Structure 1
Amino acid sequence: MGNSIYKVPGGKLLKIKLTPSEGRILAIVIKGDFFLHPEETLVALEEFLAGKELDEIALAADIQNFFDEADASLVGASAADIAKAILMAV
């Protein structure tokens, strides 16, 4: 299991707990002082990321697409910031 703490430049703090397996996300917990609305989107995002390949560019695109489809608003960080924090936990 890996952990990371990433302070977004000019933004919020992201904390990642990651269980990787064979280059993919087995399990993930995302916390921090960012704002995500609706709030239940965070649990859905963690479930969505299970099984995804640990590739920063692909993860950023997948996360952004997830937010777009969920009509979710993320304040204080971006999909790319979350992807970066995930890879820092590997």
Structure 2
Amino acid sequence: MVGALVPESSHTEAGAWVSTAYNLGAALGTACGGVLADRSGPPSAFGVAAGLLAAVTALGALRALSRRNPTTALKAPSGDGVTR
């Protein structure tokens, strides 16, 4: 996905930023989950993680649906219905 969004000359830098963001998120999530598990117990940590996952998934789905072109999504297929 990053390759489609940045110029070809910036692919390496864009990939490095994606990797940095992923690793930072993993580190912060682990640290916060550990603190929450120590203070409230593992069930609370798993509950918060599940809630955050559900919220991020819902926001991603809403964003994806809002970016769709509703006129092309509702058009009937033309021709014989065979995808080529």
Please tell me the TM-score bracket, short chain as reference. under 0.3
The structure where strand makes up a greater share of residues is 1
Q: Greater relative contact order: 1 or 2 (C-alpha under 8 angstroms, separation 6 or more)?
A: 1
TM-score normalised to the size of structure 2? 0.26
Report the TM-score, using the length of structure 1 for normalisation.
Answer: 0.25
- Greater C-alpha radius of gyration: 2
